[in-house]
Structure 1
Amino acid sequence: MGDPALSRRGFLAASAAAGLSMTALSGCGGDSDGGSSDGTTTIEWWNISTTQPTKDVWAGLARKFEAQNPKVKIKIVQLENDAYKSKMTALTASGKLPDIFHTWGGGVLKQQVDAGLVEDLSDRTKDWAETLLPVARQPYLLDEKLYGIPFDIGMIGFWYNKALFKKAGISAPPATWSAFLEAVTKLKSADVAPLALAGKEKWPGMYFWAYLAMRTAGAGALQKANEDKDFTAPGLVQAGEHLKDLVALEPFQKGFLGASYSGPTGQAATVGNGKAAMELMGQWAPVVQADAGKGLGDDLGFFPFPEVEGGQGAITEVFGGGGGHALRSGAPQAAVDFLKFFASEATDLELVKKTGVLPVVPGAESAIADPNIKAVHKELTAATGFQLYLDQAYAPALGQEVNDSVGALIAGSKSPEQVTESLTSVAKEEQ
Structure 2
Amino acid sequence: MAINTSRTRRAALSALGVITAVGLLAGCGSGTPGEAAGGGGGSEGVTTIQFWHRTFTPVENDWYKDIVKKFNASQKEIKVVDTEVPADAWDQKMKAAQAAGKAPDIYTHSGSIQDAVNAGQLYELNKVVDQSKLDEIIDPAQPVSQIGGKYYAYPLLLEPQTVLFWNKAMLDKAGVDSTKGPETWDDLLAACAKIQPTLAKGTYCISPASDAATFAWSTVGQQYNFAGHTALTDDWTKPDINNDGYKDLMSKYKTLWDKGYMPKQALAAYVEGKDFGQQKVAFKVSGSWMMSEIGSDYKDMLSNTGVGAFPNAANADGRTATTLGNFKWVIDAKSKNAEAAGKFLEWSLAGDPQNLVPFFVGTQFTKVPVRASVQEAVAADEKAADAPWSKVVIDDIAPTAIPEPTYPWDVSLAVGTAMETVMKGAASPDKAIATAEAAIQKVIDRDKLPEKAPKN
Mapped pair 1:213 → 2:223: yes
1:284 counterpart residue number: 289
In structure 2, the CA distance between the partners of 1:224 and 1:95, relative to structure 1 (3 Å rule), is farther
In the alignment, does 2:453 pair up with 1:430? no
Superposed displacement of residue 327, structure 1: 1.6
Sort the Cα spacing of 1:55 and 1:277 in 2 relative to 1 into closer, same or farther, 3 A.
Answer: farther
The match for 1:338 is 344
Q: Quick check: 1:75 aligned with 2:90?
A: no
Q: Is the 8 A contact 1:117 1:329 kept in 2?
A: yes
CA contact (8 A) 1:54 1:354 kept: yes
Instruction: Give 2:204's match in structure 1, choosing from 193, 196, 211.
Output: 193
2:156 counterpart (123, 136, 151): 151
The whole-number CA distance in structure 2 between the counterparts of 1:225 and 1:168 is 44
| Aligned equivalent of 2:389 | 372
Out of 359-368 and 313-322, give the one that drifted further: 313-322
C-alpha contact (below 8 Å) 1:92/1:112 kept by paired residues: no
Conserved in 2, the CA contact under 8 Å of 1:209 and 1:240? no
What corresponds to 1:12 in structure 2?
Answer: none
Aligned residue-pair number: 392
* Equivalent-residue separation in structure 1 for 2:234 and 2:260 (angstroms): 30
3-state SS of 1:376 partner? helix
Secondary structure of the residue aligned to 2:273 is helix
Letter in 2 for 1:389: E
- In structure 2, C-alpha distance between the alignment counterparts of 1:295 and 1:214, rounded to whole Å: 36
Shift of 1:207: 5.4
Question: What RMSD over aligned residues (CA atoms) do the two structures have, in Å?
Answer: 3.4
- Describe the shift of the 1:429–1:138 C-alpha distance in structure 2 as closer, same or farther (beyond 3 A): same
State the alpha-carbon separation in 1 of the partners of residues 167 and 138 from structure 2.
32
1:388 corresponds to which letter in structure 2? P
Contact 2:192 2:261 in 1 (8 A): yes
Contact 1:231–1:423 (Cα < 8 Å) also in 2: no
**Mapped partners of 1:226, 1:250: distance in 2:** 40
Gaps of 5+ in 2: 2-23, 25-31, 449-456
Of the three residues 302, 320, 325, the one matched with 1:297 is 302
In 1, the alpha carbon distance for the partners of 2:101 and 2:247 equals: 38
Shift of 1:105: 4.7
Match runs of 1:368-407 below 5 Å: 368=379, 369=384, 370-380=387-397, 383=400, 386-390=401-405, 393-407=406-420
Q: CA deviation at 1:158?
A: 0.9
Letter in 2 for 1:353: V
SS class of match (1:45) = strand
Please, what TM-score do these two structures have when normalized by structure 1? Answer: 0.78
2: CA distance between counterparts of 1:221 and 1:415?
A: 20
- Report the equivalent of 1:16: none
Q: Which residue of 2 aligns with 1:45?
A: 52
Report if aligned partners of 2:231, 2:415 keep a CA contact under 8 Å in 1. Answer: no
Shift of 1:268: 1.8
Instruction: Note if contact 2:224-2:320 (Cα within 8 Å) is conserved in structure 1.
Output: no
Offset at 1:376? 1.5
- 1:83 deviates by 5.8
Aligned letter for 2:446? E
CA distance change for structure 1 residues 56 and 317 in 2, over 3 Å: closer, same or farther? same
Secondary structure of 1:363's counterpart equals helix
Deviation at 1:64, TM superposition (A): 1.9
C-alpha distance in 1, partners of 2:40/2:369?
33
Q: Which residue of 2 aligns with 1:116?
A: 120
- Match of residue 18 from structure 1: none
SS in 1 for 2:356: helix
Shift of the 415–103 alpha-carbon distance from structure 1 to 2, 3 Å rule, reads farther
Q: Distance in 2 between the 1:280 and 1:83 partners?
A: 28
CA gap 1:330/1:429 in 2 versus in 1, 3 angstroms: closer
Which string of whole-angstrom CA distances, capped at 9 and with x for unpartnered residues, describes residues 223-267 of structure 1? 63672421333122332222222232334446418x5456xxxx3
Q: Which residue of 2 aligns with 1:31?
A: 36
Per-residue deviation, 1:288: 3.0
Q: Distance in 2 between matches of 1:61 and 1:198?
A: 35
Identity of aligned residues (%): 21
- The question of 1:275 aligning with 2:280 is answered yes
User: In structure 1, what is the Cα distance between the partners aligned to 2:407 and 2:249?
Assistant: 18
Q: For the residues of structure 2 that align with 1:294 and 1:203, how far apart are their CA atoms? A: 30
Structure 1 stretches lacking a partner, 5+ long? 1-6, 8-24
Compute the TM-score of the two structures, normalised by the length of structure 2.
0.74
